[in-house]
Amino acid sequence: MSIVVTGATGALGRLVVEQLLDTVPADQVVAVVRDKDKAAPLAARGVELRIADYDRPETLSDAFRAGDRVLLVSGSEVGKRIPQHTAVIDAAKAAGVAQLAYTGVLGGPDADFLLADEHKATEQLILDSGLPHTFLRNGWYTENYTANLAPVLEHGAVVANAGDGRISSATRADYAAAAVAVLTGDGHLGAAYELSGDVAWSLSEYAAVIAAATGKEIVHKNVPAAAHQEILVGAGLPEAFAAILVDVDEAIARGRLAGTSGDLARLTGRPTTPLADTVAEAVAAV
């Protein structure tokens, strides 16, 4: 039996593999990647590489083995996830894997925003497949905000259309730790975990945390959805993706990303990373 991580050189998958290597012997870890050269550091640490591409189903036929525990890290290309995930699910079923864990979205079937649609469809595909499964419904990543600190610092404002909505974010490393717990532990088959940070915060509070970390005046500027769409497109985002982000902000305003179930801390056995810590690290890196 191996523990197999798809998308293993991506932002989340890489952290899962790194944390697995702190938990189990390297010869039990398999990385499914598109680019062998990019994954060379993993191979150097004893991780088995299996080369496959979500967009080429034929390459997935050798990605899994009977009895494997598999983490399907959701594809990053919105609009292409359903065929990509279908290819992985079909290959996992054909191989007879022992577990398919999937990184979905907070709220699962009850999530009512555009970004959730492909995740909900994927969960249903997994249920229909009959595979032993675990749903890891990840909330918002704190890095979704802190990775874009430069324009915030330049303009002195956090601009959004989320109003006073609250966000129970956690770091990618937090979510990776939950995946490792599920992949290496027992009793998780058939479970659906609502994963989020311990504390929900508003964008006004986020602006205040940045201000405290930088000594600069930072404000939260709430704008209408249409205006936010124009700002994002003007900054170079494709119109369709900008619309998805605007829609997420509207979901935040409705409280859809504010849940604090405690599942994440229970799975990892520790509190989630405080917002201020992630902001401080990002500020130091700017």
pLDDT in tens, 260-275: 999 999 999 999 999 9
Mean local confidence (pLDDT), 57-61: 94
Predicted pLDDT of residue 286: 82
| Confidence at residue 239, expressed as pLDDT on a 0 to 100 scale | 94
pLDDT level of residue 169 (50, 70, 90 thresholds):
very high
Q: Which CATH code fits 140-170+195-259+270-286?
A: 3.90.25.10
- Does the pLDDT value for residue 1 go beyond 90? no
Q: Please provide the average confidence, as pLDDT, over all residues in the chain.
A: 96
Q: CB neighbours of 22 closer than 8 A, spacing ≥ 6?
A: none
Are 3-138 and 140-170+195-259+270-286 the same fold in CATH? no
Whether residue 40 is predicted with pLDDT greater than 90 in this model: the reply is yes
As a residue count, the chain comes to: 286
Give me the torsion for CA of 183, 185, 188, 193, rounded to 10°.
-70
With bands split at pLDDT 50, 70 and 90, how would you rate the model's confidence at 138?
Answer: very high
Dump pLDDT digits (tens) for 111-124. 999 999 999 999 99
Confidence grade of residue 78 (pLDDT, cut at 50, 70, 90): confident
Question: Which of 268, 48, 259 minimizes the C-alpha distance to 173?
Answer: 268
Q: Residue 77's pLDDT is what?
A: 85
CATH class of the region 3-138: alpha beta
Residue 76 above 90 pLDDT? no
CA distance 88 to 21: 23
Annotated domain spans of the chain: 3-138, 140-170+195-259+270-286
The confidence band for 22, taking pLDDT boundaries of 50, 70 and 90, is: very high
The pLDDT-based confidence of 136 (bands split at 50, 70, 90) is very high
